[in-house]
Protein backbone atom coordinates (compact mmCIF):
# COMPACT_ATOMS: atom_id res chain seq x y z
CA UNK A 1 0.00 0.00 0.00
CA UNK A 2 1.42 3.36 -1.00
CA UNK A 3 0.76 6.95 -0.02
CA UNK A 4 2.55 8.36 -3.05
CA UNK A 5 0.70 10.09 -5.87
CA UNK A 6 0.55 7.59 -8.72
CA UNK A 7 0.69 8.33 -12.40
CA UNK A 8 -2.66 8.85 -14.12
CA UNK A 9 -4.91 5.79 -14.14
CA UNK A 10 -5.35 4.44 -17.68
CA UNK A 11 -8.77 5.05 -19.23
CA UNK A 12 -10.66 1.76 -19.04
CA UNK A 13 -14.12 0.25 -18.97
CA UNK A 14 -15.50 -2.97 -17.49
CA UNK A 15 -18.83 -4.67 -18.03
CA UNK A 16 -20.86 -4.29 -14.82
CA UNK A 17 -20.29 -5.52 -12.13
CA UNK A 18 -16.64 -6.06 -13.14
CA UNK A 19 -13.78 -8.02 -11.61
CA UNK A 20 -10.84 -6.54 -9.75
CA UNK A 21 -8.52 -8.86 -11.68
CA UNK A 22 -9.34 -6.99 -14.90
CA UNK A 23 -8.45 -3.54 -13.52
CA UNK A 24 -5.27 -1.58 -14.25
CA UNK A 25 -3.75 -1.25 -11.76
CA UNK A 26 -5.19 -4.11 -9.70
CA UNK A 27 -6.55 -2.69 -6.43
CA UNK A 28 -4.78 -3.30 -3.13
CA UNK A 29 -7.09 -5.09 -0.69
CA UNK A 30 -4.42 -5.59 1.95
CA UNK A 31 -3.58 -9.09 0.78
CA UNK A 32 0.14 -8.50 1.38
CA UNK A 33 0.03 -5.68 3.91
CA UNK A 34 -2.70 -6.09 6.53
CA UNK A 35 -1.49 -7.47 9.84
CA UNK A 36 -4.02 -8.42 12.50
CA UNK A 37 -3.72 -8.22 16.27
CA UNK A 38 -6.75 -10.17 17.53
CA UNK A 39 -9.11 -7.21 17.77
CA UNK A 40 -12.07 -9.26 16.46
CA UNK A 41 -11.17 -12.63 17.98
CA UNK A 42 -14.15 -14.97 17.96
CA UNK A 43 -16.48 -12.51 16.23
CA UNK A 44 -18.84 -13.59 13.45
CA UNK A 45 -19.50 -11.24 10.56
CA UNK A 46 -21.61 -10.85 7.42
CA UNK A 47 -20.23 -8.52 4.74
CA UNK A 48 -22.29 -7.71 1.66
CA UNK A 49 -20.40 -6.87 -1.51
CA UNK A 50 -17.52 -8.84 -0.03
CA UNK A 51 -16.05 -10.29 -3.20
CA UNK A 52 -14.02 -7.23 -4.26
CA UNK A 53 -13.28 -3.62 -3.45
CA UNK A 54 -13.93 -2.33 0.06
CA UNK A 55 -15.87 -5.47 1.02
CA UNK A 56 -12.97 -7.75 0.11
CA UNK A 57 -10.52 -5.58 2.04
CA UNK A 58 -12.80 -5.64 5.08
CA UNK A 59 -13.17 -9.43 4.85
CA UNK A 60 -9.38 -9.86 4.76
CA UNK A 61 -8.89 -7.50 7.70
CA UNK A 62 -11.69 -9.05 9.78
CA UNK A 63 -10.32 -12.56 9.26
CA UNK A 64 -6.79 -11.51 10.19
CA UNK A 65 -8.22 -9.89 13.30
CA UNK A 66 -9.82 -13.23 14.26
CA UNK A 67 -13.37 -13.13 12.84
CA UNK A 68 -15.29 -15.73 10.88
CA UNK A 69 -16.71 -14.14 7.73
CA UNK A 70 -19.62 -14.75 5.37
CA UNK A 71 -19.53 -12.61 2.23
CA UNK A 72 -22.45 -11.85 -0.06
CA UNK A 73 -21.97 -11.28 -3.80
CA UNK A 74 -23.66 -11.47 -7.18
CA UNK A 75 -23.52 -14.86 -8.96
CA UNK A 76 -21.30 -13.42 -11.73
CA UNK A 77 -18.75 -12.42 -9.09
CA UNK A 78 -18.11 -15.99 -7.94
CA UNK A 79 -14.44 -16.08 -8.98
CA UNK A 80 -13.63 -12.97 -6.95
CA UNK A 81 -15.68 -14.33 -4.05
CA UNK A 82 -13.82 -17.64 -4.07
CA UNK A 83 -10.53 -15.75 -3.95
CA UNK A 84 -11.73 -13.71 -0.97
CA UNK A 85 -12.89 -16.81 0.91
CA UNK A 86 -9.49 -18.40 0.33
CA UNK A 87 -7.85 -15.39 1.99
CA UNK A 88 -10.22 -15.66 4.96
CA UNK A 89 -9.44 -19.35 5.35
CA UNK A 90 -5.70 -18.72 4.96
CA UNK A 91 -6.00 -16.52 8.05
CA UNK A 92 -7.27 -19.54 9.96
CA UNK A 93 -10.90 -18.46 10.09
CA UNK A 94 -14.11 -19.90 8.67
CA UNK A 95 -15.02 -18.28 5.36
CA UNK A 96 -18.29 -18.63 3.48
CA UNK A 97 -19.82 -17.00 0.42
CA UNK A 98 -23.44 -16.66 -0.66
CA UNK A 99 -24.34 -15.75 -4.23
CA UNK A 100 -27.50 -13.81 -4.87
CA UNK A 101 -29.02 -10.37 -5.38
CA UNK A 102 -29.71 -8.26 -2.30
CA UNK A 103 -32.68 -6.74 -4.14
CA UNK A 104 -34.43 -9.99 -3.16
CA UNK A 105 -35.77 -9.58 0.38
CA UNK A 106 -35.97 -13.33 0.97
CA UNK A 107 -32.33 -13.72 -0.05
CA UNK A 108 -31.26 -11.01 2.40
CA UNK A 109 -33.02 -12.75 5.25
CA UNK A 110 -31.63 -16.15 4.26
CA UNK A 111 -28.07 -14.78 4.37
CA UNK A 112 -28.47 -13.89 8.03
CA UNK A 113 -30.05 -17.27 8.78
CA UNK A 114 -27.12 -19.01 7.06
CA UNK A 115 -24.55 -17.07 9.07
CA UNK A 116 -26.28 -17.79 12.37
CA UNK A 117 -26.54 -21.48 11.54
CA UNK A 118 -22.98 -21.88 10.27
CA UNK A 119 -21.24 -19.67 12.85
CA UNK A 120 -23.53 -20.23 15.82
CA UNK A 121 -24.46 -16.56 15.97
CA UNK A 122 -23.79 -13.13 14.53
CA UNK A 123 -21.84 -10.18 15.96
CA UNK A 124 -21.13 -7.82 13.06
CA UNK A 125 -23.12 -6.82 9.97
CA UNK A 126 -21.38 -4.74 7.31
CA UNK A 127 -23.80 -3.35 4.73
CA UNK A 128 -21.48 -2.59 1.84
CA UNK A 129 -23.17 -3.80 -1.38
CA UNK A 130 -24.11 -0.90 -3.64
CA UNK A 131 -25.15 0.00 -7.14
CA UNK A 132 -24.36 3.18 -9.07
CA UNK A 133 -24.47 4.19 -12.71
CA UNK A 134 -23.61 7.65 -13.97
CA UNK A 135 -26.13 9.65 -16.01
CA UNK A 136 -25.75 12.82 -18.06
CA UNK A 137 -28.77 14.56 -16.55
CA UNK A 138 -31.91 14.06 -14.49
CA UNK A 139 -33.94 13.44 -17.63
CA UNK A 140 -31.69 10.47 -18.44
CA UNK A 141 -32.40 8.79 -15.08
CA UNK A 142 -34.79 5.95 -15.84
CA UNK A 143 -37.32 4.59 -13.39
CA UNK A 144 -35.63 1.21 -13.76
CA UNK A 145 -32.27 2.58 -12.64
CA UNK A 146 -33.83 4.61 -9.83
CA UNK A 147 -35.58 1.54 -8.46
CA UNK A 148 -32.47 -0.63 -8.79
CA UNK A 149 -30.27 1.89 -6.99
CA UNK A 150 -32.66 2.40 -4.09
CA UNK A 151 -33.48 -1.29 -3.72
CA UNK A 152 -29.82 -2.33 -3.70
CA UNK A 153 -28.50 0.47 -1.53
CA UNK A 154 -31.35 1.25 0.88
CA UNK A 155 -34.04 -1.43 0.90
CA UNK A 156 -31.52 -4.27 1.18
CA UNK A 157 -29.77 -2.55 4.08
CA UNK A 158 -33.06 -2.29 5.94
CA UNK A 159 -33.95 -5.92 5.24
CA UNK A 160 -30.56 -7.18 6.39
CA UNK A 161 -30.69 -5.16 9.59
CA UNK A 162 -34.23 -6.33 10.30
CA UNK A 163 -33.08 -9.93 9.92
CA UNK A 164 -29.91 -9.45 11.97
CA UNK A 165 -31.15 -7.52 15.00
CA UNK A 166 -32.93 -10.48 16.70
CA UNK A 167 -29.58 -12.33 16.68
CA UNK A 168 -27.33 -9.48 17.79
CA UNK A 169 -26.26 -9.37 21.43
CA UNK A 170 -25.09 -6.34 23.43
CA UNK A 171 -21.71 -5.31 22.07
CA UNK A 172 -22.62 -6.19 18.50
CA UNK A 173 -22.01 -3.77 15.68
CA UNK A 174 -23.64 -2.69 12.42
CA UNK A 175 -21.47 -0.75 9.98
CA UNK A 176 -23.02 0.84 6.90
CA UNK A 177 -21.00 2.02 3.90
CA UNK A 178 -22.19 5.49 2.97
CA UNK A 179 -20.22 8.00 0.86
CA UNK A 180 -19.03 11.58 0.63
CA UNK A 181 -21.73 11.75 -2.05
CA UNK A 182 -24.23 11.99 0.81
CA UNK A 183 -23.27 15.62 1.48
CA UNK A 184 -21.21 16.59 -1.60
CA UNK A 185 -23.22 14.99 -4.42
CA UNK A 186 -22.07 14.77 -8.01
CA UNK A 187 -24.83 15.52 -10.57
CA UNK A 188 -23.90 12.42 -12.58
CA UNK A 189 -24.56 10.24 -9.51
CA UNK A 190 -27.88 11.79 -8.53
CA UNK A 191 -29.71 8.63 -7.47
CA UNK A 192 -26.65 7.05 -5.83
CA UNK A 193 -26.03 10.19 -3.78
CA UNK A 194 -29.64 10.23 -2.60
CA UNK A 195 -29.36 6.67 -1.33
CA UNK A 196 -26.17 7.43 0.58
CA UNK A 197 -27.81 10.41 2.26
CA UNK A 198 -30.66 8.11 3.26
CA UNK A 199 -28.18 5.66 4.77
CA UNK A 200 -26.56 8.40 6.85
CA UNK A 201 -30.00 9.21 8.24
CA UNK A 202 -30.71 5.52 8.83
CA UNK A 203 -27.41 5.12 10.70
CA UNK A 204 -28.14 8.05 13.01
CA UNK A 205 -31.71 6.93 13.53
CA UNK A 206 -30.94 3.30 14.34
CA UNK A 207 -28.10 4.24 16.68
CA UNK A 208 -30.81 5.78 18.88
CA UNK A 209 -33.26 2.90 18.59
CA UNK A 210 -30.78 0.05 19.03
CA UNK A 211 -28.63 1.72 21.67
CA UNK A 212 -30.86 0.40 24.44
CA UNK A 213 -30.10 -3.12 23.19
CA UNK A 214 -26.36 -2.45 23.35
CA UNK A 215 -26.07 -2.62 19.55
CA UNK A 216 -23.91 0.08 17.96
CA UNK A 217 -24.67 1.46 14.48
CA UNK A 218 -22.04 3.47 12.61
CA UNK A 219 -21.01 4.25 9.04
CA UNK A 220 -17.91 4.74 6.95
CA UNK A 221 -18.03 7.43 4.25
CA UNK A 222 -15.44 6.68 1.55
CA UNK A 223 -14.28 9.24 -0.95
CA UNK A 224 -13.01 8.06 -4.36
CA UNK A 225 -11.79 4.48 -3.93
CA UNK A 226 -10.35 2.28 -6.69
CA UNK A 227 -12.85 -0.59 -6.98
CA UNK A 228 -14.54 -2.39 -9.92
CA UNK A 229 -17.56 -0.12 -9.42
CA UNK A 230 -15.58 2.73 -10.97
CA UNK A 231 -14.59 1.41 -14.44
CA UNK A 232 -17.88 -0.55 -14.55
CA UNK A 233 -20.11 2.51 -14.05
CA UNK A 234 -18.22 5.61 -15.19
CA UNK A 235 -17.07 6.88 -18.62
CA UNK A 236 -13.44 5.94 -19.41
CA UNK A 237 -12.29 9.58 -19.49
CA UNK A 238 -13.60 10.10 -15.94
CA UNK A 239 -11.88 6.91 -14.81
CA UNK A 240 -8.60 8.33 -16.03
CA UNK A 241 -8.87 11.32 -13.68
CA UNK A 242 -10.56 9.45 -10.83
CA UNK A 243 -9.47 10.67 -7.40
CA UNK A 244 -7.06 13.34 -8.65
CA UNK A 245 -9.32 16.11 -7.31
CA UNK A 246 -8.64 15.14 -3.67
CA UNK A 247 -6.01 17.00 -1.63
CA UNK A 248 -3.95 13.81 -1.61
CA UNK A 249 -4.17 13.79 -5.41
CA UNK A 250 -5.20 10.17 -5.88
CA UNK A 251 -7.93 7.61 -5.34
CA UNK A 252 -7.84 5.54 -2.19
CA UNK A 253 -7.12 1.84 -2.15
CA UNK A 254 -9.64 -0.56 -0.54
CA UNK A 255 -6.97 -1.56 2.00
CA UNK A 256 -6.94 2.03 3.25
CA UNK A 257 -10.61 1.78 4.21
CA UNK A 258 -10.50 -1.54 6.09
CA UNK A 259 -9.03 -0.20 9.37
CA UNK A 260 -12.03 2.09 9.85
CA UNK A 261 -14.39 -0.90 9.68
CA UNK A 262 -12.21 -2.91 12.06
CA UNK A 263 -12.27 -0.05 14.56
CA UNK A 264 -16.06 0.32 14.40
CA UNK A 265 -16.59 -3.44 14.74
CA UNK A 266 -14.22 -3.82 17.70
CA UNK A 267 -14.50 -3.02 21.41
CA UNK A 268 -12.14 -0.11 20.79
CA UNK A 269 -15.21 1.87 19.66
CA UNK A 270 -17.50 0.64 22.45
CA UNK A 271 -18.80 4.17 23.11
CA UNK A 272 -19.13 5.15 19.45
CA UNK A 273 -22.56 4.92 17.83
CA UNK A 274 -24.28 7.07 15.24
CA UNK A 275 -20.92 8.19 13.87
CA UNK A 276 -19.93 8.63 10.24
CA UNK A 277 -16.21 8.12 9.73
CA UNK A 278 -14.98 9.95 6.64
CA UNK A 279 -12.09 8.34 4.73
CA UNK A 280 -11.79 10.56 1.69
CA UNK A 281 -8.26 11.71 1.01
CA UNK A 282 -8.85 15.14 2.54
CA UNK A 283 -12.15 15.96 0.84
Give the Cα separation of 200 and 46 in Å (integer).
20
Which helix or strand (DSSP H or E) is residue 166 part of? Answer: none
Our answer to whether residue 192 is catalytic in this structure is: yes
End-to-end CA distance of the chain: 20
Neighbouring C-alpha atoms within 13 Å toward the C-beta of 67: 30
The one catalytic residue in 34, 192, 261, 271 is 192
Angle between helices 78-90 and 53-64 (to 10 degrees): 20
Give CA angle at 175 (169, 176), nearest 5°. 135
Helix (H, G, I), strand (E, B) or coil at 132: coil
CA dihedral 37, 38, 40, 42 (to 10 degrees): 160
CA distances from 11 to 26, 176, 234 (A): 14, 30, 10
Q: How far apart are CA 116 and CA 183, in angstroms?
A: 35
DSSP labels, 235-272: -HHHHHTTTTTSTTSSPBPGGGTHHHHHHHHSGGGTT-
196-228 burial, b at 16+ Cβ within 10 Å, e below that, comes to bbbbbebbbebbeebeeeebbbbbbbbbbbbbb
The residues annotated with a catalytic role in the active site are 192
Amino acid sequence: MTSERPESTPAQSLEHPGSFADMTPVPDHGEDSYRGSGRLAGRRAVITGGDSGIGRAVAVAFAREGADVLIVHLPEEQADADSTVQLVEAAGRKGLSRAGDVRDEAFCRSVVDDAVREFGGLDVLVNNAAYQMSVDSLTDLSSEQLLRTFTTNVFATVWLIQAAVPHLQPGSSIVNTVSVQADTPSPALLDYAMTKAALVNLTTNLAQELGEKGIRVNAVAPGPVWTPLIPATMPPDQVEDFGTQTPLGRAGQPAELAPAYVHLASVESSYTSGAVVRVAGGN
